[in-house]
Amino acid sequence: MLSIIIALVVTGFVAAFVLKGYKAQAILMAGGIVLMVAAMLIGQNVPLPKNISTGSEWLDVFQFIKMTFSSQSAGLGLKIMAIAGFAFYMHEIGASEALVRVLTRPLARIKHMPYFFMAMCFIIGEFLSIFITSASGLGVLLMVTLYPLMRSVGLSRLSACAPIATAVAVEMGPGQGNVNFAAEIIGIDVVDYVVEYQLVVATAALITIALLHVVIQKYFDVKSGHIASEHRHLAEQTTTETSVGEDGKPLAPTIYAILPVVPLVLIFTFSKLMISSIKMDVTTAMFVSIVLTLFFEYFRRGDAKKVIDSIQIFFDGMGRQFANVVTFIVAGQTFAQGLKTIGAIDVIVNAAETAGFGPVMMTIVMVAIIMVSAVLMGSGNAAFFSFANLVPDIASKMGIAPVVMLLPMQFVAGMSRNISPIAPNMVAIAGVAEVSPFELAKRTAVPMIGGILISVFVSITSF
């Protein structure tokens, strides 16, 4: 009983400090350390088994952090850093913008159907999120490409912002950090996780969210007195091609649209789905793709020194992701280890069994925890990294495969972020459109809740 009281108190303090704006990584790590120390003081457990112990239980707390940093930096962390570095480089050379231009050209044919037009913009945004994985980065890019188009067909500011804000809601594909983290915890290849588990759930969620966007945005527009057919006066102006990009630089050649897609093509080609004799993981695909991109840049610019120097953008992107995301993973694992060490997981599972909770109810409880955490913190990564490590132990005690619990948690983390008015992508998009992020959250809440419900239902009933 004492262990669960300590766990609840520490978790409460962690939540309170994070909500007050303290650095989440530091607070999660501190919470994990306190829990591990408390576990040893009350004679509960030790942080590490004897075969990897330093010889001192007290030093083992920090040995665990060191080992976690080491393993994550060489494994999942390296994947995430390589993905981010590549994404930064694609943005800098204009390849991401070229991909958006190519995908949005067919939309001109349906501009007379504004809300269907909006739904298709959402689908395109989600497709782009497979290659442009930063929610804020993609959001700002779409605000200078898709947003004017949606405004031109008569949509209100908030109706045009809502599908852009939710463009990375359904996180799927090997380029997403949460997807790689889930695959690593389950112990399967990320391609297998995407193809065997994600596709079914993602398809159902995408259709649900797109339909709800049509209904909800039209409802709010009509309620506010905004009639789309009366606001189409910008249609011809916004369809004019320009030779200048969002940052004032010349647009990249259209052929650059293939570059962000190259890593995904490599990953799926060299897997058991196609050429099984060669295996290419995410990190290798990113390195191969960046080398190919350097050749494209040389033929475009003709200045070898500038092209070679530009690789620093890739490295800077890797470093930024280490500071922002990899440290989150380590902090989340430290906090999870603290909860395990003090015995909180055993108490939770035993309490669930006593209350008659089966695997389904326990999954719903974990999903609810992720949802609330993501909304309060404004980050799907923070919520998922903090609690995903608990799943293997809980799933094992409940007698189910970890993927049954992890899959809906992973999807819900991404969707719940887009209900939060403090999420960076929501704030950035609202700022560009000069609308309130709280008003934007009202527009995204129902589509996201619908997506959450359908993703949980399909995950539980399909696997």
The pLDDT assigned to 246 comes to 54
- Percentage above 70 pLDDT, the chain: 95
CA distance 463 to 199: 12
CA distance 78 to 117: 38
The per-residue pLDDT of the chain, averaged, comes to 86
Q: How confident is the model at residue 321 (pLDDT cuts 50, 70, 90)?
A: confident
CA distance 104 to 305: 34
Pair of tokens at residue 125: 């945004």
Contact 366, 404 (CB under 8 A): no
CA distance 406 to 394: 11
The closest alpha carbon to 161, from 221, 110, 106, belongs to 221
CA distance 302 to 390: 52
CA Rg value for the chain: 23
The pLDDT assigned to 462 comes to 85
The pLDDT assigned to 236 comes to 43
The pLDDT assigned to 233 comes to 54
- Could you tell me how many residues make up the chain? 463
Condensed to tens digits (0 to 9), the pLDDT of residues 206-217 reads 999 999 999 999
Contact 234, 151 (CB under 8 A): yes
Q: How confident is the model at residue 78 (pLDDT cuts 50, 70, 90)?
A: confident
Which range, of 13-17, 132-136, 201-205, 292-296, averages the lowest pLDDT? 132-136
Q: How confident is the model at residue 453 (pLDDT cuts 50, 70, 90)?
A: very high
**DSSP state letter for 21:** T
The residue ranking higher by pLDDT, 241 or 319, is 319
Q: Is the pLDDT of residue 443 over 90?
A: yes
The pLDDT assigned to 380 comes to 84
* Domain coordinates in residue numbering, the chain: 71-326+352-462
Q: How confident is the model at residue 42 (pLDDT cuts 50, 70, 90)?
A: confident
The closest alpha carbon to 293, from 99, 143, 79, 81, belongs to 99
Residue type present at position 392: P
Condensed to tens digits (0 to 9), the pLDDT of residues 102-151 reads 887 887 777 778 899 999 999 999 998 888 887 888 888 888 778 888 88
Contact 35, 338 (CB under 8 A): yes
- Percentage above 90 pLDDT, the chain: 31
Burial class (CB in 10 A: 0-12, 13-18, 19+), 52: exposed
| DSSP letters spanning 97-153 | HHHHHHHHGGGGGGTTSHHHHHHHHHHHHHHHHTT---HHHHHHHHHTTHHHHHHHT
**DSSP state letter for 410:** H
The closest alpha carbon to 141, from 90, 68, 192, belongs to 90
Q: Which alpha helices (H) appear in 153-303, and where do they start and end?
A: 157-165, 177-186, 190-192, 199-223, 235-238, 262-269, 282-301
The pLDDT assigned to 408 comes to 95
